[in-house]
Structure 1
Amino acid sequence: MTTNVDDRTGPRENPVPRHHQLIVSLFGLYARQHGGALAVATIISLMQDIGVESSGTRSSISRLKKRGVIDSVQVNGRNGYALAPSVIETFIEGDERIFHPRRAAKGDQWLLATFTVPESQRNIRHKIRSSLVRMGFGSVTPGLWIAPGHLRDAVLAYFDTRGLTEFLEFFMADHVGGADLQQNIGSWWDLPALDDLYSDFLAHNRGLLESWTRRVELSNDTESDASAFADYLVLVTQWRRLPYLDPGLPIEFLPENWNALEAEELFQKLHALLASRAERHADRAIGEHMLAG
Structure 2
Amino acid sequence: MAEQHTPRSLIVSLYGAYGRAPDGSPVPVAALVRLLAVLGVDAPSVRSSVSRLKRRGLLLPRRTADGAAGYALSEDARRLLEDGDRRIYARTEPKLSEGWVLAVFSVPEAERHKRHLLRSRLARLGFGTAAPGVWIAPARLYEETRHALERLELSPYVDLFRGDHLGYTATAGAVARWWDLGAIAALHEEFLAAHEPVLRAWTSRTGTGETGDAGDAYRDYLLALDSWRRLPYADPVLPSELLPDDWPGRRSAEVFTALHELLRDRGAEFVRPFLSEH
Matched, 1:19 2:7: yes
Counterpart secondary structure, 1:114: strand
For the 8 Å contact 1:109–1:148, the answer to whether it is kept is: yes
For the 8 Å contact 2:26–2:72, the answer to whether it is kept is: yes
For the 8 Å contact 1:103–1:247, the answer to whether it is kept is: no
Counterpart secondary structure, 1:33: coil
1:251-290 to structure 2, matched below 5 A, reads: 251-288=240-277, 290=278
Identity of aligned residues (%): 36
Matched, 1:43 2:43: no
Offset at 1:184?
A: 1.7
Aligned to 1:68: 57
Output the amino acid matched with 1:32: R
In 1, distance between residues paired with 2:55 and 2:143?
29
For the 8 Å contact 2:107–2:115, the answer to whether it is kept is: yes
In 1, distance between residues paired with 2:167 and 2:271?
52
For the 8 Å contact 2:205–2:211, the answer to whether it is kept is: no
Matched, 1:183 2:173: yes
Offset at 1:102?
A: 4.2
* CA-atom RMSD in angstroms: 1.7
Structure 1 unmatched ranges of 5 or more: 1-12
In 1, distance between residues paired with 2:25 and 2:121?
25
TM-score of the pair, normalised by structure 1: 0.88
Write the deviation string for residues 128-176 of structure 1: whole angstroms up to 9, x where unpaired: 1111111111001121010011112222222223322111101111122
In 2, distance between residues paired with 1:157 and 1:59?
28
Count of aligned pairs? 274
* Aligned CA distance change for structure 1 residues 259 and 108 (closer, same or farther; 3 Å): same
TM-score of the pair, normalised by structure 2: 0.93
Write the deviation string for residues 61-90 of structure 1: whole angstroms up to 9, x where unpaired: 223223333222222311111223322211
1:95-174 to structure 2, matched below 5 A, reads: 95-100=85-90, 102-174=92-164
Offset at 1:241?
A: 0.7
For the 8 Å contact 1:102–1:248, the answer to whether it is kept is: no
Moved over 4 A (4+): none
For the 8 Å contact 1:73–1:79, the answer to whether it is kept is: yes
Offset at 1:179?
A: 1.4
Structure 2 unmatched ranges of 5 or more: none
